[in-house]
């Protein structure tokens, strides 16, 4: 009974969230800035989910933005210079991030863990930023690339041609892709492969001794994280029609990691909530962009102190609290058993 | 004659000048129970670790069922049928007892990325089989009622049993047990040894490191003694218990004294 009720409430929450997200553009329609924030949030959600994945196997990263940077440049250059369709450039951007990211990080994935890996990713990220600045003939150097073409229209049977030029259409496209990424990550989490990822974080030696190929699990997982990062970068480039090296340097990567830590890593919803709350709340509270980092910091301190498992940890805290209360309220019931 | 299932030939491990193992040749036959004893620091654990590939031997070869497996990675060794338990109980501490076993089941079920994420019908069947297998083995070692407990919270004896269960679920040809019963009570030791005995009857070769001599006397067909990385004696438990070199290694030798 209670399980059914719970399921019902979960379904209703999902329905409400879906409705809000679908109707949101109609409410925002005049405000171009709000669209921009919504777009960034969704891109950050995709990136944060990738960071969560690497955290799940015990590899925190401050270089996840690099994969977005690779994806953004590859996708933009393919479309601009080679006139490839966006729809081909999108998966290629993901693939490029995997091709660059996996071999470069492979030695560190095999030998380092935790904070040591974090340091390597900082180096990787800074290096990539430098490379992008220096190869200005291709990347546009400090100015970056602008006038990146918008997403090509596609013709869908029954619906006719969909033009993604308007910010409405792009919003829905991004919403759809973000949704797909969330579903994918959720299924990965709850699959037997996800179980192996968590096992490799807890003990390499034991995983190996029960026949789990730790190296393979790490490479595949990291490749998935790279791929999602590359896709996010491509979507950013074609959404903003602009990309420059500092868009996804170490600093934005730090924010992405904080979204994950803020939201909690237990569940795929953690990074999603983290990205939404940490992006929106400062925007709502203060108008000056200078002041928003202060709000950001206060929120982070609050969570670090009261909800060390992230915002989602609140559920466990509430449940232990209610259990404690009900146990205290009915001492006779406990002595009976 | 039964054939040797696992064999090491002149295995040597040098830790930068410190010789942990020196030309150690041992063998286990199908369904044989071999005890491995020796004073602390004799190289017993290093021997098992080099067999499963955690430690890379400096020289010497390891044969499993006649095939050279020297230099194989630990997960490949596990796949070929050698299961090992750790001297210090090692578990996936934050996961439930059942999850621990399920991870160990993954090898036999050949978990792959895409089928697992897409959850194909075949994968659903695999998962159901894995769950059956896992619950079966937990039932066998007698901790099935603890399946939803977090591994770090169960008692020491149960942790030892879980560790053994994770080795058994690999259906190994050789079982390497590094002091599996350390810190357990007499009754617990007995029930654990009976489980191992059961495996032995099914044809599994067992190497057991153990300091408890009565366990060695009661269960082992053959005993190998290591001291300072060298094999100093080998024979039946009776022969070993009266071997001069062994007594000297354990009690310290005085010139002329017996």
Is A210–B170 a contact, with Cβ atoms under 8 angstroms apart?
Answer: yes
Residue A100 phi/psi, 5-degree rounding, is: -80, -45
CA distance B245 to chain A (A): 34
Q: Where are the domains of chain A?
A: 31-327
Q: What is the pLDDT of residue A141?
A: 81
Q: Please tell me which of the candidates B86, B103, B113 has its beta carbon nearest to residue A199.
A: B103
Provide CATH code, domain B4-251: 3.40.50.300
Which pLDDT score is estimated for A4? 63
Is residue A313 within 8 A of residue A261, CB to CB? The reply is: no
Q: Are A177 and A94 in contact (CB under 8 A)?
A: no
Q: What is the pTM of this model?
A: 0.88
Query: Could you read off the pLDDT of A108-134 as tens digits, one per residue?
Result: 888 888 889 999 999 999 999 999 988
- pLDDT > 90 in chain B, percent: 50
> Would you state the pLDDT for residue A148?
85
- pLDDT tens column, B220-255: 999 999 888 888 888 888 888 888 888 888 777 655
Q: How far is B202 from chain A (nearest CA, A)?
A: 20
Of B74, B86, B99, the CB nearest to A195: B99
Q: What is the pLDDT of residue A334?
A: 40
CA dihedral A27, A33, A38, A43 (to 10 degrees): 160
Smallest CA–CA distance, residue B163 to chain A, in Å, is 10
Q: How far is CA B9 from CA A103, A311, A337, in A?
A: 37, 57, 60
Are the CB atoms for A217 and A203 separated by under 8 Å?
Answer: no
Q: B113 burial class (0-12, 13-18, 19+ CB within 10 angstroms)? A: middle
Residue to mutate among B49, B51, B55, B74, with most A CBs inside 10 A, is: B74
**pLDDT of amino acid B253:** 62
Task: From A241, A230, A179, select the one nearest A36 (Cα to Cα).
Answer: A241
Residue B246 is predicted with a pLDDT of 84
**Which chain A residues are within 8 Å of B111, Cβ to Cβ?**
192-193, 196
Task: Please tell me whether residue A258 adopts helix, strand or coil conformation.
Answer: helix
Give average pLDDT by consecutive 10-residue segment, chain B, 258 residues: 82 87 91 90 90 91 90 92 91 93 88 87 90 93 91 92 93 92 87 90 91 88 90 88 83 58
Residues 273-332 of chain A with CB under 8 A from chain B are none
Regions in chain A scoring below 70 on pLDDT: 1-8, 328-337
pLDDT of residue B96: 93
Which residues, other chains included, contact A111 with Cβ-Cβ below 8 Å and sequence gap of 6+?
A: none
């Amino acid at each position: 009974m209670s399980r059914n009720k719970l399921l019902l409430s979960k379904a209703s929450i999902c329905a409400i969230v879906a409705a809000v997200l679908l109707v949101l553009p109609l409410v925002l329609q005049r405000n171009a800035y709000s669209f921009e924030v919504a777009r960034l949030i969704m891109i950050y959600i995709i990136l944060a989910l990738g960071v969560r994945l690497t955290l799940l196997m015990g590899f925190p990263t401050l270089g996840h933005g690099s994969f977005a940077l690779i994806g953004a440049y590859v996708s933009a250059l393919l479309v601009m210079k080679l006139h490839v369709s966006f729809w081909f450039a999108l998966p290629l951007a993901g693939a490029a991030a995997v091709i660059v990211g996996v071999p470069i990080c492979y030695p560190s994935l095999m030998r380092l863990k935790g904070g040591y890996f974090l340091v390597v990713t900082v180096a990787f990220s800074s290096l990539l930023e430098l490379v992008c600045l220096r190869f200005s003939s291709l990347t546009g150097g400090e100015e970056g690339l602008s006038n990146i073409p918008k997403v090509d229209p596609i013709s869908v049977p029954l619906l006719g041609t969909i033009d993604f030029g308007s910010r409405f259409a792009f919003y829905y496209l991004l919403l759809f892709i973000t949704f797909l990424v969330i579903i994918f990550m959720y299924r990965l989490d709850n699959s037997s492969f996800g179980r192996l990822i968590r096992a490799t974080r807890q003990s390499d030696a034991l995983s190996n001794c029960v026949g789990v190929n730790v190296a393979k699990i790490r490479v595949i997982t990291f490749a998935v994280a790279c791929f999602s990062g590359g896709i996010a970068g491509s979507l950013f480039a074609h959404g903003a029609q602009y990309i420059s090296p500092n868009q996804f340097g170490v600093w934005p990567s730090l924010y992405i990691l904080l979204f994950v830590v803020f939201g909690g890593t237990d569940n795929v919803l953690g990074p999603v909530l983290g990205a939404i709350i940490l992006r929106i709340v400062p925007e709502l509270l203060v108008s000056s962009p200078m002041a928003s980092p202060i709000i950001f910091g206060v929120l982070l301190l609050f969570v670090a102190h009261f909800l060390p498992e992230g915002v989602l940890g609140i559920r466990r805290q509430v449940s232990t609290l209610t259990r404690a209360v009900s146990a205290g309220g009915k001492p006779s019931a406990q002595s009976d058993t | 004659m039964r054939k040797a299932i696992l064999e090491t030939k002149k295995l040597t491990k040098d830790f930068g000048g410190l010789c942990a193992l020196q030309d150690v040749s041992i063998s286990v036959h199908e369904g044989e129970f071999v005890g491995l004893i020796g004073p602390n620091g004799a190289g017993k654990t290093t021997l098992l670790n080099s067999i499963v590939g955690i430690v890379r031997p400096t020289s010497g070869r390891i044969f499993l069922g006649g095939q050279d497996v020297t230099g194989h990675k630990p997960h490949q060794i596990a796949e070929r049928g050698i299961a090992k338990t750790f001297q210090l109980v090692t578990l996936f501490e934050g996961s439930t007892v059942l999850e621990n076993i399920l991870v160990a089941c993954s090898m036999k079920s050949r978990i792959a990325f895409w089928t697992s994420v897409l959850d194909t019908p075949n994968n659903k069947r695999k998962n159901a089989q894995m769950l059956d297998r896992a619950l079966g083995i937990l039932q066998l070692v007698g901790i099935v009622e603890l399946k939803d407990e977090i591994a770090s919270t169960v008692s020491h004896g149960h942790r030892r049993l879980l560790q053994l269960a994770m080795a058994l679920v690999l259906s190994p040809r050789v079982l390497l047990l590094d002091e599996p019963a350390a810190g357990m009570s007499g009754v617990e030791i007995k029930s654990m040894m009976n489980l191992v005995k059961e495996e032995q009857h099914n044809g599994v070769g067992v190497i057991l490191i153990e300091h408890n001599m009565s366990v060695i006397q009661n269960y082992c067909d053959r005993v190998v003694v290591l001291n300072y990385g060298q094999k100093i004696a080998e024979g039946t438990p009776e022969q070993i218990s009266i071997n001069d070199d062994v007594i000297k290694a354990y009690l310290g030798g005085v010139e002329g004294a017996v």
